[in-house]
Amino acid sequence: MATYRKVRPRWADAPASERGAQTAPPAMAAVIDVGATSIRLAVAEIGSEGAVRVIEEASRGVLLGKDTFTNGRIGPGVLDMAVRVLEGYARILEGYGVQRRRAVATSAIREATNRDSVLDRIRLRTGIDVEIIDGSEENRLTWLAVRSVLRGHKALEAKAALLVALGGGSADLTLLRSGEPVQSGTYPLGAIRMRQSLSSWHGTPESRIRLLRRHIHNVALDVAREIPMGEATQFIALGGDIRFAAERILGEAAVAEDAIPSIPRDAFLALCDEISGDDTERLAEEHRLAPSEAETLVPALIAYREILSATGAATIVVPQVSLRSGLLLDLAHRGESAGLEDLRRQVLAGAETLGEKYRWDALHGRHVARLSVQLFDALKDEHGMGVRERLLLEVASLLHDVGMFVSLRGHHKHTQYLLSAAEIFGLSREDMAVVANVARYHRRSMPLKSHPGYIALDREARVVVNKLAAILRLVNALDSDHLQKITDLRLLREEDPWVLEVTGSGDLTMERIAALARSDLITEVFGRRIAFRQAAP
């Protein structure tokens, strides 16, 4: 069943005093979210101050996740339904004269073995390029939306809060400290995924619920090993199923009027007990739900209950936002310096949290990171890279030694493994693959095509790794004894060799020897030998 509706214009991410103060015509923007249970559209105006006003939304239930999580691929029938929905959305975009747009797909298409064919079919039939995003990007976009609505709310002022966005394919969890994201992860707790995992079970409804609870409990234990959920005193939840719970407990009218409703913990637990034994048909009939919504309700509420029980939160805060809200805000503010600095701060906070997990040498990591970005900036005209690559170098520099948590011997290889498997808020899987490779080459061998992790990157990413690893390799040598004796550096780009002039205290003979030995990758990448010189006092 399709749902198309004009919505009362609502503004986001701008103070009330700025609304209506637009000096230029608003830009038309649209976002499409291709999820596991439905395909949703939001059309909005973006004002000159970056404020977002949603003017139309559309939603159509398409169970892409049911195919993917059962068979591993999207079947032709479901694909054809998705294409027809997107053809309709394309006509809406054309009617509005949309100038900015972004269409994204999450776990259902991301995990399908035939995802490339699916995306190609969609593009050819509709003209819409759908971008597959990973859990890290979902977390970032969700956070943008939540922050815009909860500014000044106690949930963001708490020492620790847990943000949970549960969809059809996965659950995205982010730990916030004083309103800043420091840890995040994506876990297999999607409602459709969990339901399909038990599709072959033919026991009683009661035994099915017991199995579902056991499965969710086991996944929650795994989550708790990575994210300290017990520290959270505030619980922020997103998703259609938790909004249903809010409407049942607080009343539809109250939820519609309040942009930030809160559900008492005890009332939510009681609701879970009340409906967990109901079958899909009864839920659909009693609560006037579409079949696709009724199928996901019980697994989703049980998952929310399990995660909530691991925290100390007394209420569930349910802001009226979604992934689409974050997509629109990202379109409105993309490229702004304040947003980039926000992202940098959040990424580095996540990197330091990861470093603490592996008992890093914080002084050494921060020192190498500071000097690395100095050298990056000094080589700007030579490497031609931008702020994104600078941030990846900073993260790799901070964490280049975390492999020592596994073993001192060959720790650069252990670092690569740990980072390639880790998640840092704001960095995609592709970003983490670059970070892992840059950190891997801070010592010993230079990048070789015989190294699986390196050759798995595309050509452009390998070039970035070469340049960033060359910088990290040299700078790490300047603090090889972890004493932070060198406080500053300059690169004097004379004809040949370039002169690395350092400011420091004490005898720097060992630093000079190490730097000259580790300048091999700089010479190979930039074509210049390096000379070492200590600045005059």
Look at residue 508 and tell me whether its pLDDT is greater than 90: yes
Cα 291 from chain centre = 30
Is the pLDDT at 41 greater than 80? The verdict is: yes
What does the pLDDT read at residue 502?
96
Mean pLDDT over 123-142 rounds to 95
Q: Average pLDDT for residues 355-373, to the nearest whole number? A: 97
Q: How many residues does this entry show for the chain?
A: 537
Compute the mean pLDDT over every residue in the chain, rounded to the nearest whole number: 91
Q: Which of 18-32, 90-104, 240-254, 267-281 has the lowest mean pLDDT?
A: 18-32
Can you say whether residue 381 is alpha, beta or left, with left for phi > 0 and alpha for psi between -120 and 50 degrees? alpha
* Tokens matching residue 501: 């002039």
pLDDT band per the 50, 70, 90 thresholds, residue 283: confident
- 310 phi, psi to nearest 5 deg: -85, -10
Q: What are the helix (H) ranges across 175-204?
A: 191-197
pLDDT at 397: 98
Q: Which residues contact 372 (CB under 8 A, 6 or more apart)?
A: 393, 394, 397, 471, 472, 475
Q: Is residue 49 pLDDT above 60, yes or no?
A: yes
Residue-wise pLDDT for 471-480, tens only, equals 999 999 999 8
d(CA 206, CA 328): 42
- 132 by DSSP, 3-state: which? strand
Task: Count CB neighbours of 366 within 10 A.
Answer: 18
**Helices 76-96 & 115-126 angle (0-180, nearest 10):** 40
> In order of start, what are the domains of the chain with their CATH numbers?
2-133 (3.30.420.40), 136-328 (3.30.420.150), 335-534 (1.10.3210.10)
pLDDT, residue 159, reads 95
Residue 11 pLDDT greater than 50, yes or no: no
**CA-to-CA dists, residue 332 to 30, 176, 259, 312, angstroms:** 11, 24, 21, 36
pTM listed for this prediction: 0.86
pLDDT value of position 201: 65
User: What pLDDT is attached to residue 23?
Assistant: 58
pLDDT of amino acid 334 = 81
How much is the pLDDT for 6? Answer: 47
Mean pLDDT of 340-368: 94
* 54, 148 Cβ separation under 8 angstroms: no
Q: pLDDT by residue (tens digit) across 421-444?
A: 999 999 999 999 999 999 999 999
What per-residue confidence (pLDDT) applies to 8?
Answer: 41
For residues 206 and 382, the model is more confident at 382
* Average pLDDT score over residue span 246-259: 90
What per-residue confidence (pLDDT) applies to 200?
Answer: 64
Contact between 238 and 319 (Cβ < 8 Å): yes
**Residue 199 pLDDT:** 67
The whole-angstrom separation of Cα 455 and Cα 74 is: 30
pLDDT digits (tens, 9 = 90+) for 162-221: 999 999 899 999 999 999 999 999 998 888 888 887 766 666 777 878 888 898 999 999
From the CB of residue 101, how many other CB atoms can be counted at a distance below 10 Å? 19
